[in-house]
Structure 1
Amino acid sequence: MSKKKKNRAEEKEETLEEKIEEAMEDAEQHPEAGEEEAPAGDKERGETTEDAPEGSEEKDGGKDPKDEKIAELNDRIVRQMAEFDNFRKRTDKEKSEMFSNGEKVVIEAILPVIDNFERAFDMAEGAGAEQKDPFMEGMEKVYRQLMDELEKLGVRPIEALGTDFDPNIHNAVMQEETEEYGSGKVCKELQKGYMLNDSVVRHSMVSVAQ
């Protein structure tokens, strides 16, 4: 019995040695199998590492060039619209000033004619005629028509007599002592002044009470 066990043990040892030798021979014949698998894993890890920055950029809120271009164009449009609006306002103001200046020039040329009408009326009243001359009546009609048309354009006489002296609308050429008006009041109107809307066309020439 002891010999049989010994033989069986020897057979097992021989079988094990044969398997080890076969495994070693197989490893020598295919040495690249293990090496090829390792780079594949490394490659996958490399791709994962390379992909990480892109995800991190998106996560960090990187701007899209298209969005930046759209924002730039919108900013340009807003600026150009503002510039155009300022240009339009400036042009409208210049037009208004030119029109107003043109009106002033025409009105200034007409004012001496109005002064002559009023002087003629004062002279006729001073003559003390009992009946009005038909010629004077015709002049009065023309005068009233002229003043009505000027009023439609925004022309109006400046109030002077009895008002406080205002250098913005009055031109003081003399001072007088008078009991009728208080100090600083306009006591006499030597030449009538006129306004065009809120602008002075001609200052009133006045005398101021002391």
Structure 2
Amino acid sequence: MSDPNEADGPDGPSIQPSDELEAALAEAVAAVDERKGGKGAATSADPGAPQGAAEGDPEDVAALKDQLLRLHADFENLRRRTLREKEDAFRYGHENLVKDLLPTVDNLERAVDHARQSGGGDVEGLLQGVELVLRELQGVFSRHGVEEIEAEGAAFDPAIHEAMAQAPDDTVPANTVVQVYQRGYQLRDHLIRPARVVVSKPSTEGGAKPEEPASD
């Protein structure tokens, strides 16, 4: 069902003035006409009145012009905001679907990891099936603009990463993601959930203590 305040134009859908806005515009126009009529009547009744009296009060004209400009600006702001909200609803309308599917992806990833660790020919078929489903789900995500957040080996970014712990590691710079607990995802440029990660820290921080020799 189309919105009665919208119309399709050469540049796409446009927002038509609301009843309240049209009424305000009509009121402002009527006020201008009334002032013009009053000034004209006064001039006819008094032929000796100054010639400039029929032109209207400059302050009244300026005030009405300002009111019309404000109404036009309000309408433009409403139009832009409405179009932006519609665009956001279209771009991010599948967010709840993605959130519902994420636990399934997590479980499938755990099943694949478990099957790999168990080994043996008995689980080979199960492993292949689970991997197939996982690839299909990842394909669905990709088609809907869902991307996995790059985490392991990247510098920690609080905007897309959630630090769960720190681990001493001198092989990488401090605050580098060295392990991923749970993968993060984003829908285009919109964060769905951050990646839960382990972040590196210098192993010499605070001074490393040598191990005590075992007592007899």
TM-score by length of 2: 0.59
How much is the aligned-residue C-alpha RMSD, in angstroms?
3.4
Partner of 1:164: 155
1:63–1:130 distance in 2 versus 1, CA, 3 Å: farther
Structure 1 stretches lacking a partner, 5+ long: 1-50
Matches within 5 A, 1:116-127: 116-127=107-118
- Distance in structure 1 (CA, Å) of the matches to 2:112 and 2:152: 19
Q: Which residue of 2 aligns with 1:199?
A: 190
Query: Which stretch has the larger CA shift, 145-154 or 86-95?
Result: 86-95
| 1:81 to partner: Cα distance | 3.4
SS of equivalent to 1:189: strand
Aligned partner of residue 133 in structure 1, secondary structure: helix
Offset at 1:183? 1.3
Question: Structure 1 vs Structure 2: percent identity of aligned residues?
Answer: 35
- 2:95 corresponds to 1:104: yes
2:180 aligns to what SS in structure 1? Answer: strand
CA separation of 1:69 and 1:151: change in aligned 2, threshold 3 A = same
Larger Rg computed on CA atoms? 1
The one of 139, 142, 145 aligned to 2:130: 139
Deviation at 1:138, TM superposition (A): 3.0
TM-score, normalization by structure 1:
0.60
Instruction: Report the counterpart of residue 85 of structure 1 in structure 2.
Output: 76
Give the unaligned 5+ runs of structure 2: 1-46, 202-216
> 2:170 is paired with a residue of what secondary structure?
coil
The correspondence for 2:165, drawn from 160, 167, 174, is 174
Q: Kindly indicate which of the two structures has a greater share of residues assigned to helix.
A: 1
Q: Considering fraction of residues, name the structure with more strand.
A: 2
